[in-house]
Homo-oligomer: A and B are copies of this chain.
């Protein structure tokens, strides 16, 4: 979910402050006579012509003027037109802040009375799975959490329980016996495959792949200019051994062969995770990625030798190695061969990047391609920011991870303790990679001699080089983008010297 409109609203909210910081959902306390409306009256205001009203708890709001400022788009807010915001806000917990509630209050036109005022909203997050307490939680609803840094940089495969979680919606619960995936599209037979079909009709293929959230390391962008989105540190990344059926085999089974392929440019995926309107999570990958056996795209039903965990798409998800995590659709329900990309919000208006001069006010989402393969990345996992070294220490052991999308090998990682004046080239520990397709990260370590501390501090920097000899840019300023994705600036860790 995007948030640009929040900025637009901040100004309004500030005006409201003088009125006593009323907050949406509270019964209005002061001012003129309170107008009262029933649910039926509110329901009439469901188009721009008639003005668009919504309710939240017992407040009635005219949001017509806010429609085009809504970060998720006018269309999404229109889903609540003439009705309650409450179920949507229960789904998208990012609305549930004082700031947003105060903004909404600026649009208040009255108070809801009658039966509609007392309706309870079912909690869509009532049935979330139990999670490991060591996960570093970035949001509870939807659940998003990082792998603890202690595990990164030391473990080639990330344990399932500690693998970072990026959910966009509540976790759907699926009975494996009733689960199936539908495969369809132009020129294809329409095929419905059960879990048993997947495991018995198709050869099991195993691939060790790194998954990385497109927003990994977003937090550093905030030092440049505030971005909206989950404040991911370096832990929205992990590597596992995934097993399943090759996508190319499944597509061939549905009749997609060389003759039909010219008609088809993209393979779309849909998940069972859906919002209150029934819109499910979706994404697509290019046909060239989907159809080549060498690209190793699978319908994964195992992760590190076990069933997929609930948070990771049980019973079946897409693993498209070398491609950003957002396209590896979880809780897979549908595969569509098409001339078009997925038209989902996440493919069209979310995981894209722009120049630092593009902001929420002037962004043209069609002007940038959806992120697929990702850039060269690395981070220092040990030592940790703020670690304290004894003054007598003259060197420090440094370790971390490096990864590049598209199957590009990591060929070098350099570490500097003197702001890039000199570099130590680290030892690489490639994990389960193959000749030309490097889907998994490379762990690395080295010992760095420490320079004189300045103000009791020493800064370590790392940066990686991949097989194309692309490398990471020095600072996040040049790659800052409104959605805060794909930050791969040099990673810095500042240590204290006692």
Contacts and interface: CB of A to CB of B under 8 A. Distances in A.
Interface string A364-397: 0001110111111000000000000000000000
B425 A355 contact: yes
A415 to B, nearest CB: 10
Given A288-B435, A355-B425, A414-B355, A467 B369 contact: yes
Given A288-B436, A371-B469, A373-B467, A423 B474 contact: no
A356 B424 CA distance: 10
B470 A470 contact: yes
A353 B423 CA distance: 14
Given A288-B435, A368-B411, A475-B474, A373 B420 contact: no
Contacts of A358: 425
Contacts of A294: 288
A471 interface: yes
Nearest to A468: B373
A486 interface: yes
A57 interface: no
Given A355-B423, A411-B369, A420-B477, A375 B467 contact: no
Interface in A462-483: 463, 465, 467-475, 477-479
B473 A474 contact: yes
A78 to B, nearest CB: 31
A478 B471 contact: yes
- Number of copies of this chain that the complex holds: 2
Given A469-B486, A474-B474, A478-B474, A265 B414 contact: no
Contacts of A373: 467-468
Contact of A424 (B357, B469, B477): B357
Contacts of A406: 406, 408, 468
Which 6 pairs of residues, A with B, have the shortest CB-CB distance? A288-B436, A470-B470, A355-B423, A375-B470, A357-B423, A373-B468
Given A286-B435, A288-B294, A357-B414, 18 more contacts: A353-B469, A354-B425, A355-B412, A355-B423, A368-B412, A371-B469, A374-B468, A374-B469, A376-B470, A404-B468, A420-B477, A463-B478, A471-B473, A471-B478, A472-B473, A474-B474, A474-B478, A478-B490
Interface of A: 265, 286, 288, 294, 353-358, 367-369, 371-376, 404-406, 408-409, 411-412, 414, 420, 422-425, 435-436, 463, 465, 467-475, 477-479, 486, 490
